[in-house]
């Protein structure tokens, strides 16, 4: 294994796995830290953690364990994969995990870039944009777990770390890899936010960080990495699964709510509300039975307007309501798979983590791109195809498009 990735959620893991696979690397996505060695054929190992919103100390411990396994497989470089909207709180977990990984690897300067231009995430003058809006003006300001109210990710990161936080402007990125590396001081420890608004900028960053032991960023930072390891772009082989399918949506992002509205117009749907789940008014068996009785591929969703989510959190508690929804989706996914469902489209990072955990999957095989940042996946050794979508990714018809790709052979 040449390159290791530690992803702080499941959708982010499949996102960067797709980028590396398209770059010609044989990529394997692992659910948690494996307890056996990797196959010799794997070039890039991506470990999916569910560490974005857990206490910082737990996130650090899990990430270090992942790092140790990856380096034991031979990895010379580690990527700490974070969300392209820098999802975090003032306590972490980006800063604390990056510090711990850098110390473990002996790195004193860490390049940080969450940009993903293909999905409208760019960094300019240290500020993160979502399309043509500052992060703080995007739907991320209403995120139920990690509301992002500060677009200056230099300030966000500085509140999470004791290390110096530097910045490389777009002008200096245009000057080439040497200019980026000049931002790393000879003494002390620093994290350096690097601007990027185009894929060419990410390619330049990729050349600059070829010798770095640790990188932090969104999947875009992986754009130039396969070439550093001698790989060229490739197309993944894929054989889909036919049969029963379902869409599970827990994300409350603006993009996902629009996708839910579009899909509800053409398919059976049921809303799973926090109140009903907390009151035990819904049973996994009843919902699973309803899914199996539908002729079309149905939609189950807890996605709701931020005001509705906020009211539920006030009533039940943020952590308790989130945990209850995730547990329900986890148990439901297991029940549906055991009943013969062979395709699942899942929206939302936390929901995806819950679903994959419920399925008991260990390794996910990477297939073709469904949408920017979203690959088709198969559970290794099982008759199940998945799409794990970050809440903000995909177009209005994503659910229909994903179901088609998961079924089609290429």
The reported pLDDT for the residue numbered 145 is: 82
Domains with residue ranges and CATH for the chain: 3-228 (3.40.50.10840), 245-407 (3.40.980.20)
* pLDDT value of position 219: 94
Torsion of CA 102, 108, 113, 114, to 10 degrees: 20
Strand, helix or coil for residue 239? coil
List of residues 6+ apart from 366 with CB closer than 8 A: 14, 17, 18, 21, 27, 28, 29, 236, 375, 377
Q: Who's near 100: CB < 8 A, 6+ residues apart? A: 60, 63, 64
Q: Which residue has the tokens 């603006």?
A: 254
Asked if the model's pLDDT at residue 319 lies above 90, the reply is: no
Report the share of the chain in percent with pLDDT over 90. 87
pLDDT band at 375 (very low <50, low <70, confident <90, very high): very high
Tell whether the model's pLDDT for residue 190 goes beyond 80: yes
The answer to whether residue 409 scores a pLDDT higher than 90 is: no
Question: Environment class of residue 202 by beta-carbon count within 10 Å: exposed (0-12), middle (13-18) or buried (19+)?
Answer: buried
Give per-residue pLDDT as tens, 66-103: 999 999 999 999 999 999 999 998 889 999 999 999 99
Per-residue confidence (pLDDT) for residue 290, from 0 to 100: 98
Residue-level length of the chain: 410
How many angstroms separate the CA atoms of 145 and 148, rounded?
10
Average pLDDT over residues 228-238: 89
**More confident of the two residues 162 and 392:** 162
Structure tokens at 215: 């990188």
Q: Of the candidates 218, 277, 281, which has an alpha carbon nearest to the alpha carbon of residue 83?
A: 218
| Mean pLDDT of the chain, nearest integer | 95
298 token code pair: 């149905």
Q: How confident is the model at residue 410 (pLDDT cuts 50, 70, 90)?
A: low
Q: Residue 181, exposed/middle/buried by CB under 10 A (0-12, 13-18, 19+)?
A: middle
Task: Give the whole-angstrom CA distance, residue 217 versus residue 153.
Answer: 12
Check pLDDT > 70 for residue 383.
yes
Q: Identify whether 93 is preceded by a cis peptide bond (ω within 30 of 0).
A: yes
Q: What is the CA radius of gyration of the chain?
A: 20
Contact in structure between 265 and 236 (CB atoms under 8 Å):
no
| Rounded-to-integer distance, Cα 51 and Cα 92, Å | 10
* pLDDT higher than threshold 80 for residue 39: yes
Annotate 267-294 with b (16+ C-beta within 10 A) or e (fewer): bebeebbbeebbeeebebeebbeebeee
Distance of alpha carbon 132 from the chain centroid: 22
């Amino acid at each position: 294994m040449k390159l290791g990735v530690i992803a702080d959620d499941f959708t982010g893991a499949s996102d960067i796995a797709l980028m590396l696979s398209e770059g010609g690397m044989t990529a394997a996505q692992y659910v948690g830290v494996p307890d056996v060695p990797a196959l010799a054929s794997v070039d890039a190992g991506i470990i999916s953690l569910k560490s974005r919103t857990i206490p910082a100390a737990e996130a650090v411990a899990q990430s270090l364990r992942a790092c140790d396994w990856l380096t034991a497989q031979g990895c010379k470089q580690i990527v700490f994969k974070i969300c392209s909207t820098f999802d975090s709180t003032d306590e972490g977990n980006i800063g604390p995990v990056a510090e711990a990984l850098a110390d473990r690897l002996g790195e004193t300067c860490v390049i940080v870039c969450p940009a993903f231009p293909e999905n409208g995430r760019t960094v300019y003058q240290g500020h993160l944009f979502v399309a043509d809006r500052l992060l703080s003006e995007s739907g991320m300001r209403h995120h139920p777990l990690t509301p992002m109210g500060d677009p200056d990710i230099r300030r966000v990161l500085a509140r999470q770390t004791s290390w110096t936080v530097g910045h490389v402007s777009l002008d200096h990125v245009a000057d080439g890899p040497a200019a980026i590396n000049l931002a790393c001081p000879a003494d002390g420890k620093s994290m350096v936010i690097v601007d990027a608004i185009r894929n060419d900028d990410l390619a330049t960053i990729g050349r600059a960080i070829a010798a770095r032991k640790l990188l932090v960023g969104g999947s875009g930072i992986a754009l130039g990495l396969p070439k550093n390891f001698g790989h060229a772009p490739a197309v993944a082989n894929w054989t889909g699964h036919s049969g029963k399918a379902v869409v599970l949506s827990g994300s409350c992002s603006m993009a996902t709510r629009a996708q839910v509205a579009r899909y509800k117009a053409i398919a059976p749907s049921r809303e799973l509300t926090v109140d009903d789940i907390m009151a035990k008014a819904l049973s996994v068996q009843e919902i699973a039975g309803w899914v199996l009785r539908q002729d079309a591929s149905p939609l189950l969703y807890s996605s709701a307007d931020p005001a509705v989510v906020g009211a539920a959190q006030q009533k039940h508690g943020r952590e308790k309501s989130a945990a209850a929804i995730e547990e329900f989706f986890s148990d439901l996914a297991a029940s549906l798979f055991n009943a013969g469902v062979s395709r699942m489209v899942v929206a939302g990072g936390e929901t995806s983590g819950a679903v994959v955990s419920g399925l008991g999957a260990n390794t996910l095989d990477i297939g073709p791109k469904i949408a920017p940042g979203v690959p088709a996946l198969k559970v290794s050794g099982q008759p199940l195809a998945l799409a794990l979508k970050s809440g903000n990714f995909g177009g209005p018809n994503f659910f229909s498009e994903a179901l088609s790709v998961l079924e089609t052979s290429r």
